[in-house]
Amino acid sequence: MLRSLLKSSLIPLLALSGNLFVPSSWASPLPRQSASWPYGPFEVSGAEMKDSRGETIVYAGTNWPGHGEVMIPDGLQYQSIETIVSKIKSLGMNAIRLTYAIQMIDQFYANGNKDTTVQQSFNTALGSTNGPKVYAKFLANNPSFNASTTRLDVFDAVAAECAKQQIHVHLDNHISRASWCCSTTDGNSWFGDNDYNVQNWARGLKFMADRGKSWTALTSMSLRNELRSPDNNPTLKSQSYNWRDWYTYSKQGSSAIHEANPDILIFLSGLDFDTWITPMFQGTAMTPGTTKYSAADFPGYANKLVLEVHNYNNDATSCSSLESSLYNNGFQAMHKEDAKTVTVFPVVLTEFGFAQTDAEWRRVYSTCIAGYLAKQKAGWFIWVVSGSYYIRSGTQDYEEAWGLLSHDWSTWRSQSYIDGGLKPLVKNTVKN
Ligand SMILES: *[C@@H]1O[C@H](CO)[C@@H](O)[C@H](O)[C@H]1NC(C)=O
């Protein structure tokens, strides 16, 4: 979620049993092929994501944050996992973008390879007065959990429920140090920033990719949400914030995921809050270096790469300008007929969103993006399902005016958007 100065005016600030693993050769460790949903492993063919049957998969879904200070998916003090997934399913959606913080994995290692319990995590994040209260509500709504339940157990349970309801999980590393994201001065902006240790990041990707092998619903992972200029770190900014280093780290992160889990797609996200990723498809140099994108740099898994972009031009007044911007900064990658497209990739709009009022969704931004996604046959995740967060920017039980759901995650915030905007968008993009 973008929180830049530029945009601040716009933003009020397991089911393994169904799977049959069919090795087609005894000699090499081939990816698992599942004879049931989700028919993995997925791969990329031109501008499309495909399942193992060759069917096109277009994600139509919502973001579900789990990267805040509590480090578990939000909303569980108000509703059960099953209820939230059912609500998402009722929209016709087929995917969630589930976010996590690298800090969760750092703490696992620091704690002798043991994850922190949810109970302890609530206390640490919300304090000894509110922590136990919110934890009690979490247990009341999710009675299968108990005092020994860890944060990763909760992620496992969300993934298992998604498998049950056939919702794909796209797992997104949103930030390193768990907190609301993102600004250019939050220490998490760029590889090597104060709270963004590169080795810990790569270790965290590998850890979650490995963990996700037991999640039937997991079909893709991202490298990192909204890379951005480290503005309070001038040396890092001048020496490293560029496409050359971006490419180096993107190779490192992709390799970490692929080695741990060869079955899933890998999403690459661009610069300036993931608003553009043109060198990947225009075949231009990764400046200030001269290297260009090459499939050979992703040996054996170039067919797993998907590009993601975000857009928050909420005050757009011209749909044609908004469309041009989306095209030039990312979606051109889906157009091999464009002479300037050197390599074709699928592109997914992994974030866009707006205040959930009955008026806002009728404006240019929302209607234009909906029309554009349908024309492109491109996947998307709206920001955000959350009616509220456990804590955001220091405020507990933070009200999310952009949330599809109400504060207690019980009803839709704008039924007119759900019926008039969102359900039609799902129908016009999703293929299954
Ligand atoms: C506690 O919850 C975990 C899952 O979080 C589960 O594996 C375990 O069986 C539960 N223990 C009891 C005693 O119910």
**Mean pLDDT within 368-377:** 97
pLDDT of residue 414: 98
Report d(CA 192, CA 138) in Å as an integer: 35
How far does the chain reach from its first CA to its final CA, in angstroms? 27
Characterize 124-142 residue by residue with b for buried, 16 or more Cβ atoms within 10 angstroms of its Cβ, and e for exposed: ebbeeebbeebbeebbebb
Q: Residue 268's pLDDT is what? A: 98
Q: Can you give the pLDDT at residue 236? A: 98
* Confidence (pLDDT) at 431: 64
Q: Whole-angstrom Cα distance, residue 11 to residue 1? A: 10
**Of 144, 151, 152, which is best to mutate to test ligand 1, by the most ligand atoms within 8 angstroms of its C-beta?**
144
User: What distance in Å separates the CA atoms of residue 153 and residue 132, rounded to the nearest whole number?
Assistant: 19
What's the CATH number for 53-430?
Answer: 3.20.20.80
Give distance in angstroms: CA of 164 to centre of ligand 1. 19
Q: Give the single-character DSSP code of 16.
A: G
Q: Is residue 33 very low, low, confident or very high in pLDDT (cuts 50, 70, 90)?
A: confident
C-alpha–C-alpha distance, residues 66 and 345, integer Å: 28
Find the residues whose C-beta lies inside 6 A of ligand 1. Answer: 145-146, 148-149, 153
Pairing of strands 305-310, 395-399: unpaired
Q: Which amino acid is at 405?
A: L
Q: Show Cβ contacts of residue 25 under 8 Å, excluding neighbours closer than 6 positions.
A: none
Express as a percent the part of the chain with pLDDT over 70: 92
So what's the pLDDT on residue 92? 98
Q: What is the pLDDT of residues 329-358, one digit of tens each?
A: 999 999 999 999 999 999 999 999 999 999
pLDDT-based confidence at 427, cuts 50/70/90? Answer: very high
- What's the alpha-carbon Rg for the chain, to the nearest Å? 20
- Cα–ligand 1 centroid distance for 337 (angstroms): 54
Q: What is the number of the ligand 1 atom nearest to the C-alpha of 147? A: 1
Token pair 């930030």 is found at: 175
Other C-beta atoms within 10 Å of 290: how many? Answer: 8
Question: What's residue 30's pLDDT?
Answer: 52
70-125 pLDDT, tens digit per residue, is 999 999 999 999 999 999 999 999 999 999 999 999 999 999 999 999 999 999 99
Query: For a pLDDT cut of 90, what percent of the chain falls above it?
Result: 91
pLDDT of 423 above 80:
yes
Predicted pLDDT of residue 188: 98
Q: Quote the pTM value.
A: 0.93
Tokens of 130: 């509110």
Query: What pLDDT score was predicted for residue 29?
Result: 46
Q: Which two tokens stand for residue 326?
A: 């989306």
User: Is 11's pLDDT higher than 60?
Assistant: no
Domain ranges of the chain: 53-430
